Structure 1
Amino acid sequence: MQETALTDPSPKANRFARTRALPTIALCALIYASTLAVGYHINAAVLTILSMIVLCLLRIPVAIALISAAMLGALHAGLSMNDAIGAFNDNLLVGAQVGLTYVMIGAFAVALSRSGLLELLADAISARLGSDEQSTRKGVKWTLFGLFIVASLMSQNLVPVHIAFIPILLPPLLVVLDRLRVDRRAVACILACSISASYLLLPTGFGAIFLNEILLANVNSVGADYGLTATADMAPKAMALPVLGLVAGLLVAVFISYRRPRDYVTPRPTAAARPASPARLKPLQLVITLGALAVALVFQLKFDSLLLGAMVGFLILGVSGIFRWQEQDDVFTDGLRMMAQIAVIITVASGFAGVLTATGEIEPLVAASAELIGGNMALGAAVMLVVGLFITIGFGDSFASVPILAPIYLPLALTLGFDPLAAMALLGASASLGDAGSPASTITLGATAGLNADGQHDHIRDSVIPTFLHCNIGMLVFAWIAAMVL
């Protein structure tokens, strides 16, 4: 841990921290007072999401930004404080369940790290740099980028562990990335674009859930009244062009935006920070580690529970001696620390989404957008995508956005004259825009959990803003093209 080395004790920093709340409170009061002063009823959903974004950009902790914005939006919508708190609390259970899952994943990740497998991988990559670092720098860099892409794709489909691989894989490789002077914002974009592209296009694992159980199911459910019937093969076709936008965004991030070298502080490991035993992977340990991964995957798929799979994998590693039985509490606590921020924000984000729904102003927002569109298909596609981006940033979850948008977007798209495939592309892309790039998204939170292991990667500045710009803009452009040509 490098917390003491990363703390800025200077009086200037302390003064800034003490006074940061003042402009934040003033800004929120100004936003709200101005809407009342001019007699203009700003949509409560818009006010809520805008407030959350502004607070996050002011570097207010994400959880506090979510709660503050939710209360502000609820009061503006006419809800009492008790009703707002009730709507928030009623939706915490789902988030708490997901948060507990990520805590268990964190424990499993720490247990896996005790095997020395990833340290061995990091040592092998470091050894490749050798004394003649310049001659091998590019090869190692592109090998690592390829590893991140493959791991991201597999994490959603072949081995569906979602973001759990990031806090396992990234921290041991940070020293290597620093030696290569890689900009970590490029890595955040690689992870976000690859993870999103995987579940949006490949119909297995999480992709099967999004494409078949959510997108296809909602299209057929809502489209039944309009004579629309979609088949399983239509979903990947509809999402192909939007996913190409993610690929374009990834390429821009790697080759243009963040191609320049960036230096990070590489702290010397102290005696206390070094592992008690060297990272030597014995053959039996390798077999046990791979077996634990396999059993965890089987339990996850059989019982549809990532929580159960991670717990069983953790127990196997503990019983087998990968780490001492007496160290189980310490290993679990380390995993809790690693994933605590993600677990808390996911839980709070569920309450935020509940308040956003309770305002009752998401449908009026979409209805007002429909009035603006008129009968213009090109404008209609653009407005639908932008509104979808805005709503999904608030929810932080594309899986949860589809059922909210489907009853409004499908009739609107069909009325405007879009073909069924184009209507599906608009719905799927609108619900997916903002997933990578939301402060409360598991994708951006996961990227930060891995890249900020040494405290040098800011969640908003280095994960949220880069992924928002590169994942969402590219996808928005290509989704609009898909709506026009499908």
Structure 2
Amino acid sequence: MEWVVLIAVLVMLALSLLRIHVIFAIIIAAIVAGLMAGMNVQDTVSLLIEGMGGQASTALSYILLGIFAAMISYTGITGILVQSLIRILTGKKTMLVLVIGGIACLSQNIVPVHIAFIPILIPPLLKVFDEMKLDRRAVATALTFGLKTPYVMIPVGYGLIFHETIQKGMENSGVAIEISDSAFSMLIPGAGMILGFLIATFISYRKDRVAIQRLDVNALVETNQEKITFQFKHGLTIVAILVALIIQIITSSLVLGALSGIIIMVLFLAVPFKKGDDFVQKGVAMMGTIAFVMLVASGFAHILKETGAVDALVDHSQAILGDNKVVIAFILLLVGLIVTLGIGSSFGTIPILAALYVPICLAAGFSPMATAALIGTAAALGDAGSPASDSTLGPTSGLNADGKHHHIWDTCVPTFLHFNIPLLIFGWIASIIL
């Protein structure tokens, strides 16, 4: 029975690497797990659907944040930021990279637009990058750093989703933990990402580099945009963002926070009411896939748990590894790296990882915080270097607007080296000392 988990995860990973969409990969792997456990297809699918309800709130949060992000982008407030960057930071390479990383950080917590800001912010800056001979790999690491580190370390915005998902995943397997404790457990792994970003900025990619034309593009990147002046709607947008943030912190509900921001922007006409359908469609297009991945992943984890396959795996693991925490932690992190690389979503892998890790960690005597550190680190591992991750696809979409940036060699490899290696080391340390 212990082979059910391993084979199901390998099937999911293999299908993902073959570029079969992750949703289908997880569903097929779930059916394989059910059949191997002696269930028929109908019962397996019913169990999958039953388990999907565990992440319904998270999925709704993603959809509402996507709609809110579409509204924020519509107001054009990001264009004002672009103009300021070009005016102030032209010629200051290192400072420009650090500022881009800081702006990306805001997209996960304070202004929860996720990757929606990249196509607006980065293409107008490409000409500036070339004039300064700025290594675009530095910008890629800055963007990925900002897209990941804040939610790993801070339980606000997408960070609240991340740590709520860890909390629910652990509770479903019988271990209670507060969101604040989960966030605290990820401070050490997050520090590893900060170190990686500083190394990339000040050492690895500090030298001049001329971007090479890799692809022909049909349209030129617009660099001379019409000047945007600060308007009343931009002020309303800032108010909506602040209200959404405050309500989220007070209520600990991302759904209520995002919904309040949307309502304010519509009621005060920061965005036109008649375009409501467009905002919904753009929001769902931006965040819908991640939301459904999390739903299906939750169902997959439910199947593994209900079939008893995880318990069998725990018994088998104990027989082989005993209670050697150092070795167990390292192996679990490597498993997380492989799984997340295949799926490409740290959020989507948490329900699966929690179902696998919690019983093993309980048997080995890990504390709840150490267990949370392992789950959070393993989920984040691979996301940065995965070709299918938003954390790499987003930066590439902006940096390759003029055909001069390679997705694998200029985004995935640099982010893998500078973030996943420190995450693995620092996450391993956290699991041992917490």
TM superposition score category, shorter chain reference: 0.7 to 0.9
- Indicate the residue corresponding to 1:191 in structure 2: 146
1:335-354 aligned within 5 A: 335-354=283-302
- Of the three residues 10, 25, 39, the one matched with 1:79 is 39
User: In structure 1, what residue type is equivalent to 2:375?
Assistant: A
Q: Deviation per CA, 1:287-339: give whole Å up to 9, x if none.
A: 21121112223433444432333233223222323233322222332222222
Structure 1 residues 280, 192: closer, same or farther in 2, change over 3 A?
closer
- Indicate the residue corresponding to 1:396 in structure 2: 348
Shift of 1:427: 1.3
- CA RMSD in angstroms comes to 4.5
- Indicate the residue corresponding to 2:372 in structure 1: 428
1:41-190 aligned within 5 A: 43-128=3-88, 135-149=91-105, 151=106, 155-156=108-109, 159=110, 164-176=112-124, 178-179=126-127, 180=129, 182-183=136-137, 185-187=140-142, 189-190=144-145
| Count of residues paired in the alignment | 410
1:408-419 aligned within 5 A: 408-413=360-365
258-267 or 118-127, larger mean C-alpha shift: 258-267
Secondary structure of the residue that 1:43 maps to in structure 2?
helix
Are the counterparts in 1 of residues 67 and 284 from structure 2 also a CA contact under 8 Å? yes
Q: Deviation per CA, 1:262-305: give whole Å up to 9, x if none.
A: 5576764699xx99xx6634442232112111222343344443
Whole-Å Cα distance in 1 between the matches of residues 425 and 232 of structure 2? 51
Secondary structure of the residue that 1:280 maps to in structure 2?
coil
Structure 1 residues 279, 365: closer, same or farther in 2, change over 3 A?
farther
Secondary structure of the residue that 2:271 maps to in structure 1?
coil
- Of the three residues 235, 251, 255, the one matched with 1:287 is 235
Residue ranges of structure 1 left out of the alignment (5+ in a row): 1-40, 224-229, 415-422
Whole-Å Cα distance in 1 between the matches of residues 298 and 181 of structure 2? 30
Secondary structure of the residue that 1:78 maps to in structure 2?
coil
- Indicate the residue corresponding to 2:193 in structure 1: 246
Shift of 1:85: 0.7
1:196-211 aligned within 5 A: 196-199=151-154, 206=159, 210=163
- Of the three residues 448, 451, 461, the one matched with 2:395 is 451
Are the counterparts in 2 of residues 246 and 470 from structure 1 also a CA contact under 8 Å? yes
Using the size of structure 1 for normalisation, the TM-score is 0.68
User: In structure 2, what residue type is equivalent to 1:191?
Assistant: G
Q: Deviation per CA, 1:167-217: give whole Å up to 9, x if none.
A: 343221121453425236424541354135413xx7999579949x949x9
User: In structure 2, what residue type is equivalent to 1:430?
Assistant: L
Are the counterparts in 1 of residues 70 and 279 from structure 2 also a CA contact under 8 Å? yes
Secondary structure of the residue that 1:59 maps to in structure 2?
coil
Using the size of structure 2 for normalisation, the TM-score is 0.74
Whole-Å Cα distance in 1 between the matches of residues 95 and 294 of structure 2? 37
Shift of 1:391: 7.6
User: In structure 2, what residue type is equivalent to 1:245?
Assistant: G
1:356-395 aligned within 5 A: 356-374=304-322, 376-386=324-334
- Indicate the residue corresponding to 2:259 in structure 1: 311
Secondary structure of the residue that 2:378 maps to in structure 1?
coil
Whole-Å Cα distance in 2 between the matches of residues 291 and 483 of structure 1? 40
Are the counterparts in 1 of residues 2 and 313 from structure 2 also a CA contact under 8 Å? no
Are the counterparts in 2 of residues 116 and 279 from structure 1 also a CA contact under 8 Å? no
Are the counterparts in 2 of residues 437 and 465 from structure 1 also a CA contact under 8 Å? no
What percentage of aligned pairs have identical amino acids?
27
336-345 or 77-86, larger mean C-alpha shift: 336-345
Structure 1 residues 190, 448: closer, same or farther in 2, change over 3 A?
same
Whole-Å Cα distance in 2 between the matches of residues 109 and 358 of structure 1? 37
Whole-Å Cα distance in 2 between the matches of residues 392 and 205 of structure 1? 18
Secondary structure of the residue that 2:317 maps to in structure 1?
helix
Structure 1 residues 49, 346: closer, same or farther in 2, change over 3 A?
same
Shift of 1:145: 2.2
User: In structure 1, what residue type is equivalent to 2:374?
Assistant: S
